[in-house]
Structure 1
Amino acid sequence: MPRLLIVHHTPSPSCQAMFEAVLAGATDPEIHGVEVVRRPALAATVPDALAADGYLLGTPANLGMMSGALKVFFDLAYYPCLDATRGRPFGLYVHGNDDTAGAVRGIESVTTGLGWVKATGVVSVTGEPSRPDLQACWELGATVAAGLMA
């Protein structure tokens, strides 16, 4: 059964709302045969990353960068996953108070180095997530998960 790994750092109510919408999309009852595993970024391990067939990444934008927690995950997993996970799909959602560009750029740099393939557009939200923002998060989760269906 294909496995989707959600690696997230969820320190705020806005990030939590986005995470819950992504999770709801990924676990929609119409998506069959995909195991969804969720890990806080500081708890995600190299074996988690190696066992996954696709990834959803979620982070706040802190001072123009991805969270330190997501950076720690990438620091630990990068070299062990470098060749083993090349070509796997991923999706990304980012929340910022006023800007997310630096965080998105940093994550895209790492995922490009890993050879991961963007499954759909990035969901980037500044300020409190609106209903359309949360719908976009749901669609992100559903799209990445559905892409893994056998």
Structure 2
Amino acid sequence: MAICSAPPENLAGLSGEMKECFDRNYYAVLDRIQGLPYACAISAGSDGSGAARQTERICTGWRLKAVAPALIVNMGAQTAQQILAPKTVAQADLEKCEELGGLLAGTLLLGQ
């Protein structure tokens, strides 16, 4: 088993839905997931570092092992119109996400 988090950034932190998921499940899985590898990819409007730090703190509390630093995909949405518009992830960013997923999968195959 591995943990993969792909939260969107919202107001310089995790989206409410993602944070709620972590909050609701934190204690329920605490003793069942410690030591597992995890990866994190953030979809950001401009920065993403706040959401990455939040995710890393939660995963540290769960005693998970990061396989790589958080991958932040900056969508560059700064205006209300850009934020609400459909997004297309650049091929280079999709490839980085695929590499991160491959690294996580490889870590599992090698026994963490």
TM, length-normalised to structure 2: 0.80
Deviation at 1:131, TM superposition (A): 2.3
Consecutive unaligned residues in structure 2, runs of 5 or more: 76-87
Q: How does 1:1-150 map to 2 (within 5 A)?
A: 53-127=1-75, 129-149=89-109
Compare the two structures and name the one with the higher helix fraction.
Answer: 2
Deviations 1:114-142, CA, capped at 9 Å, x for gaps: 00100122210112633221111000111
Structure with more strand by fraction: 1
The whole-number CA distance in structure 1 between the counterparts of 2:13 and 2:95 is 24
* Structure 1, gaps ≥5 residues long: 1-52
Q: What's the secondary structure of 1:91's corresponding residue?
A: strand
Query: What letter matches 2:24 in structure 1?
Result: L
Deviation beyond 6 Å, 4+ runs, structure 1:
none
What residue in structure 2 maps to residue 49 of structure 1?
none
Alignment size in residue pairs = 98
Structure with higher RCO (Cα < 8 A, 6+ apart) = 1
